[in-house]
Amino acid sequence: MTALASAPSAGATLDVAKIRADFPILSRTVRDDKPLVYLDSGATSQRPRQVLDAERTFLETSNAAVHRGAHALSEEATDAYESARERIAAFVGADVDEVVFTKNATEAINLVAYGMSNASVGDGVDAAAERFRLGPGDEVVTTEMEHHANLVPWQELCRRTGATLRWFSVTKDGRLDLENDPITERTKVVAFTHQSNVLGTVPPVEELVRRARAVGAYTVLDACQSVPHAPVDLHALGVDFAAFSGHKMLGPSGIGVLYGRRELLEALPPFLTGGSMIETVRMEGSTYAPPPARFEAGVPMTSQAIGLGAAVDYLNLIGMDAVKAHENELTGAALLKLQDLPGVSIIGPRSTEARGGAVAFEIEGIHPHDASQVLDDSGIAVRVGHHCAWPLHRAFGVQSSIRASFHVYNTLEEVDALVAGVRRAQEFFGVAP
Amino acid sequence: MKLDSMYQEIILDHYRNPHGRGLRDPFEAEVHHVNPTCGDEVTVRVHLTGGEGRDAKVEDLSYDALGCSISQAATSVAHDLLVGHTVGEAFETLEAYQAMVQSRGKVEPDEDVLDDAVAFAGVAAYPARVKCALLGWLAFKDAVAQAQASQAQASAQTGGTA
């Protein structure tokens, strides 16, 4: 089973008006008093009052550096920080010591790549780290649909270690080409997305995990676009590592999460070193704390962790099945209505099957930048460009695209506003069919 | 409406019928510039004749571009305004243009210097689009610098025979 593809719970309907009331920013107007239509949650989502309040309350009552000092505030801050970790871990089906806080998902993926890199230098760090050693002849596999954050760190790891990068291609309909499988006995790492940030495609995680395991390769899942939008159980998926970010799941920016199977985090060498992550320090050398502390050097972000904990509480209250069902409805409507417009073509799967709520498209005769300017003038926020997935755009023979992406606070009326905005852009540039 | 002030007819005309488009010979330097946020790209060639430094004449600015209407039209206007002038004059126009589009609307454009390029004043209200308006112009500046650097190097190697 794919955790993402599980059927939405029957009758899961949302009181979207009530939800929207929790997000102060959604009631503002832009560009000469037009109501904001925010369709860029794939880039960053908005935050409910509950998240903002949790951060403020923490800062006004318990702020202190965590895991140091023995005074009352330090204890309260540490408790709040670790409580957030527990709730976030439970949210993705992980154990508490398998969750490492990072600056963002990009840092989380780099942490794994640099940990492997450190295991590959000279004599390595210790015997336990040997399992992560990479060198010439070894291969790292990724996919053509990755965000740059799950591609460039692997390119760099290969450059540093002499390993070779291979990748799955993307089919014309926006799926991974599983027929031409680059995974071989030489593969040491298979890094792939749980949901394309451009196409919305959800690759078959279990199948990829099965193929990676069959050759003893580690799997690294970019879960940035899945965890915020659907129930995800990382233990059930069986991946070795996963990364996601706070600001895409109604939480703060400045915090991301690395998940790693306990056994692997215990063996992976540290990435950033310094305070908080040590066990003993002598002039001759140091030993390191067990994970997750080993990977959290320095004073960590605290109010952001508390804010992300509050975001998880908020999502749990709504229920991730309901979030998924709602976004599925919006995605289905957007796909249907955009495809109905002459001159508009969807990039990626055209049905909601194994697909999430990112809808990328092109308008014939209008550059995406120009189209977004007209949409913006109508109060509609979408993303344009290559969305940090340049190779994917190249594979589709386009330079850039327009992307609408949804979250739990979006409405069917906003989908209609998008469609009307696209029509207006076609009229403005004189390409209306 | 701001949208109309940005997409003035003159800009849309240049976009639909770009002036001087296509890469031509001869040229002394060719540069390729990319806007990494959107992937827009431009290749610019310059052909300089006579004089040195700011006294050289911009004989041709030829280009090939992939991009939005603003970046395409801006490069087309650059071709119109810069070709036939000395490098010194061209750089003065470029500086005035750059100051205008980066001003957030605070610089009143000088139509005598900027001619058709004043149409891009509306872009200044949209910081995210300033890079589009500058892509081809800054590629031109880079190409001139490269052309003159390689000419200086060549003349140093041949003993500076004029």
| pLDDT tens readout for residues A81-106 | 999 999 999 999 999 999 999 999 99
Asked if the C-beta of B127 comes within 8 angstroms of chain A's C-beta atoms, the answer is: no
Give B-chain residues touching A377 at CB under 8 angstroms. Answer: 1-3
Asked if the C-beta of A377 comes within 8 angstroms of chain B's C-beta atoms, the answer is: yes
In this prediction, residues A324-351 reach a mean pLDDT of 97
> Does residue A1 have a pLDDT over 70?
no
Asked if the C-beta of B3 comes within 8 angstroms of chain A's C-beta atoms, the answer is: yes
Residue A400 is nearest to which of B2, B6, B38, comparing CB atoms? B38
Contact A367 B37 (CB under 8 A): no
Contact B67 A367 (CB under 8 A): yes
Check residue A124 and give its pLDDT: 65
Q: Give the tens place of pLDDT for each residue, B13-31.
A: 999 999 999 999 999 999 9
**Which residue type occupies A406?**
F
Of the two residues A70 and B46, the one the predictor is more confident about is: B46
Asked if the C-beta of A125 comes within 8 angstroms of chain B's C-beta atoms, the answer is: no
Question: A367: distance to nearest CA of chain B, Å?
Answer: 5
In this structure, the number of other CB atoms found within 10 A of the CB of residue A152 comes to: 16
Chain A CA closest to residue B6 = A373
What is the side-by-side order of every strand in the sheet holding A256-260?
A99-102, A256-260, A241-245, A218-222, A187-193, A139-143, A164-168
pTM value is 0.92
Provide the mean pLDDT of chain A: 95
**Nearest CA among A424, A406, A232 for reference residue A332:** A406
Complex-level ipTM:
0.86
Question: A239: distance to nearest CA of chain B, Å?
Answer: 32
**Nearest CA among A383, A358, A7 for reference residue A194:** A358
Q: Give the tens place of pLDDT for each residue, A12-32.
A: 578 999 999 999 999 999 999
> Does residue A189 have a pLDDT over 50?
yes
Contact B39 A367 (CB under 8 A): no
**Which residue type occupies A357?**
G
| Rounded distance between C-alpha atoms, residue A257 and residue B162, angstroms | 65
> Does residue B63 have a pLDDT over 70?
yes
Question: B136: distance to nearest CA of chain A, Å?
Answer: 16
Catalytic machinery residues of A: 388
Chain A CA closest to residue B129 = A369
Check residue A12 and give its pLDDT: 52
Asked if the C-beta of B9 comes within 8 angstroms of chain A's C-beta atoms, the answer is: no
Contact A138, A287 (CB under 8 A): no
Contact A400 B40 (CB under 8 A): yes
